[in-house]
Amino acid sequence: MSQAKAEPQEMQEVLYDVSDHVATITLNAPDRMNTISATMLNQLTERLKEADADPEVRCVILTGAGRAFCAGLDLRAQTQGGGLSIGSSGGVTSTSLDLKNTPPTVLQEMETPTICALNGGAAGYGMDTALGCDIRIMAKSAKLAAAFCKRGLVPESGGTWYLPRLIGWSRAAELIFTGRTLSADESVAWGLASEVVANEELMPRARAIAAEIAGNAPLAVRAAKRMMRMGLNEPFPEHVHHVYLQLLPLMRTEDVKEGMTAYMEKREPQFKGK
């Protein structure tokens, strides 16, 4: 078991822990319902990058401390001038966004599978962050709040890209334009989450799914995620060709030999990621 050691504990707005090939990343500002600050954004980016670069990490669970997953931007800091600085730095207006260091882009580029364990409400930026994960499991008390237009904003962190792909144009438009809040059961019915569990069962269930993923061949899992992501934006013939090219190096790995041997011997495989 390991923990990130960048900042003193009292300064960590994002906690990091690795155990049994699973990294758990926890938004850690429960006193303000894990609303997003510049510090939290920076630490979340670093933890996500750390997990994706660690060959011992085969799955990531993202969750929140306290009663909320993430209630969006820290509006108090924003209205008082101490929040996120969007589009400017040192009085100079920027014409581009540093995509390499923003959590939504980092999440989208990660090859390690991600599970969002929604322990409570996810609003605005928090909802977009949850949508950026591969799998969403929701506690019974959790909600998804697409309140952007009610705050004079648009889904700024990936929502306008994810929602039409996840639930189709009509439902995405209804959700974004109305700024509606969905309960956990409604989120599953709309196709935005996999399942709802009792609050106390959330982390055990997320860890159980993560353990299943971590038990498979990590190179194959990462390749499968890579192919799924590429398939969102390419025609079928080109995609099949890319899958074939991805299959060739996998067939030469130790893991594929172990997987086939274990199947023949009727035992659980022991994958090494090689």
Nearest residue to 196 (alpha-carbon basis) of 145, 131, 122, 136: 136
Position 105 scores a pLDDT of 87
Q: Which stretch of DSSP H or E encloses residue 252? A: none
**Burial degree of 30 (CB within 10 A; 0-12, 13-18, 19+):** middle
Query: What does the pLDDT look like over 197-248, one tens digit per residue?
Result: 999 999 999 999 999 999 999 999 999 999 999 998 899 999 989 989 988 9
Q: How far is 149 from 153, CA to CA, in rounded Å?
A: 5
Alpha-carbon separation of residue 219 from 18, 57, 111, 128, 251 (angstroms): 19, 12, 10, 27, 11
Nearest residue to 273 (alpha-carbon basis) of 228, 212, 216, 229: 216
Give the list of residues 6+ apart from residue 19 with CB closer than 8 angstroms, or none. 1
Sign of CA dihedral 143, 149, 152, 156: positive
Query: What does the pLDDT look like over 252-262, one tens digit per residue?
Result: 998 888 888 88
Query: What does the pLDDT look like over 56-111, one tens digit per residue?
Result: 999 999 999 999 999 987 766 544 554 555 444 455 555 565 666 688 889 999 99
CB 154, CB 99: distance < 8 Å: no
Q: How far is 61 from 210, CA to CA, in rounded Å?
A: 7
Query: What does the pLDDT look like over 130-159, one tens digit per residue?
Result: 999 999 999 999 999 988 877 777 777 888
> Does the predicted model carry a pTM greater than 0.85?
yes
Q: In the structure encoding, which two tokens stand for residue 141, read together?
A: 């008390």
Q: Which residue has the higher pLDDT, 89 or 29?
A: 29
Please give the share of the chain, as a percent, with pLDDT higher than 90: 64
